[in-house]
Amino acid sequence: MPLLMDRSVLILGGTAEGRTLATALAESGPPAFRVISSLAGRTREPLRPPGEVRIGGFGGVDGLVHYLRAERIDVLVDATHPFAERISAHAAAASAATGLPLLVVRRPGWTERPGDDWRRVPSLAAAAALLPRLGRRVFLTTGRQGLAAFAGTDECWFLARSVEPPGPPLPRHLEVLLDRGPFTVDGELRLLRDHRIDVLVSKDSGGADGKLAAARERRIPVVLIDRPPPPPAATTVDSVEAALARLTAVR
């Protein structure tokens, strides 16, 4: 689906790609874009991109359709996290209902390298079921909203990293590390060593892979959760540069 250069772009963001694309569009021109970034509001102090910013949900597909029409949006960009299935589904449905082009920006997933010991699973529940056979001291990097899936895995001790404190239900044996990336390989190596981690759990989010490199160096097994597919009807690109090229194709 060709995407023409339009004036009003709504970016469903909250990722580095969303912020970078908003910055590039806000600085492009003339003619200039009107850039609106929508953030889910799951953190109290989100990193705000340039341009207009709205925080919070839309109220489902109908609410998103109403917003797109009320704000005279020309192009909808889904630059959310690769595992943000609900909002991606809503974006696809709203695009179909309004006839607006939908551009999905998805960074590539990770590729296994020599020395890696990966176990790919389809879900958080599958990861929790596999863990007791792999290790007892687990580093969870799946985000605070995924911790409930491990609440019944009492055989393991967990270190979880998140931007904000998680809510229940939580694993019985849990230590929470509040931190925000990016993280270096050296820092990840220290963390794995200091906490005696013997298995890592992560979603196949793509992007910086310091924790995977650290696990590779320490020969720690990794349980990697497969990402869901993008909406089938959308135009999908794997970089901000490719998204910007499509959005600025016609001046």
Q: Can you tell me the distance from the alpha carbon of 80 to that of 13, in angstroms, rounded to the nearest whole number?
A: 5
pLDDT of residue 29: 65
pLDDT of residue 232: 75
**pLDDT digit string (tens) for 185-219?**
999 999 999 999 999 999 999 988 899 999 999 99
Q: Is the pLDDT of residue 1 over 60?
A: no
pLDDT of residue 155: 95
Reported confidence tier of residue 234, pLDDT bands at 50, 70, 90: confident
Domain ranges of the chain: 8-108+228-247, 118-225
pLDDT of residue 138: 98
What is the pLDDT averaged over residues 27-43?
80
Reported confidence tier of residue 240, pLDDT bands at 50, 70, 90: very high
Strand order in the sheet with 157-162: 118-121, 222-225, 199-203, 137-141, 157-162, 174-178
Q: What percent of the chain has pLDDT over 90?
A: 76
**pLDDT digit string (tens) for 85-138?**
999 999 999 999 999 999 999 999 999 999 999 999 999 999 999 999 999 999
From first CA to last CA, the distance across the chain in angstroms is 18
pLDDT of residue 41: 67
**pLDDT digit string (tens) for 38-79?**
998 666 667 788 889 999 999 999 999 999 999 999 999 999
Total count of residues recorded for the chain: 251
**pLDDT digit string (tens) for 10-20?**
999 989 999 99
Q: What is the 3-state secondary structure (H, E, C) of the chain?
A: CCCCCCCEEEEECCCHHHHHHHHHHHHCCCCCCEEEEEECCCCCCCCCCCCEEEECCCCHHHHHHHHHHHCCCCEEEECCCCCCHHHHHHHHHHHHHHCCCEEEECCCCCCCCCCCCEEEECCHHHHHHHHHHCCCEEEEECCHHHHHHHCCCCCCEEEEEECCCCCCCCCCCEEEEECCCCCCHHHHHHHHHHCCCCEEEEECCCCCCHHHHHHHHCCCCEEEECCCCCCCCCEEECCHHHHHHHHCCCC
Question: Yes or no: is domain 118-225 CATH 3.60.20.10?
Answer: no
Q: Taking the domain 8-108+228-247, which CATH number applies?
A: 3.40.50.720
**pLDDT digit string (tens) for 158-189?**
999 988 899 999 999 999 999 988 899 999 99
What is the pLDDT averaged over residues 141-158?
94
Q: What percent of the chain has pLDDT over 70?
A: 93
- HSE at residue 55, side-chain half, CA atoms within 13 A, is 9
> Do the Cβ atoms of 28 and 51 come closer than 8 Å?
no
Could you tell me which residues are beta bridge partners of residue 105?
237
Q: Hey, do 8-108+228-247 and 118-225 end up sharing a CATH topology, with the first three levels equal?
A: yes
pLDDT of residue 168: 94
pLDDT of residue 27: 83
pLDDT of residue 142: 92
Q: Can you tell me the distance from the alpha carbon of 34 to that of 52, in angstroms, rounded to the nearest whole number?
A: 8
pLDDT of residue 11: 97
> Do the Cβ atoms of 170 and 151 come closer than 8 Å?
yes
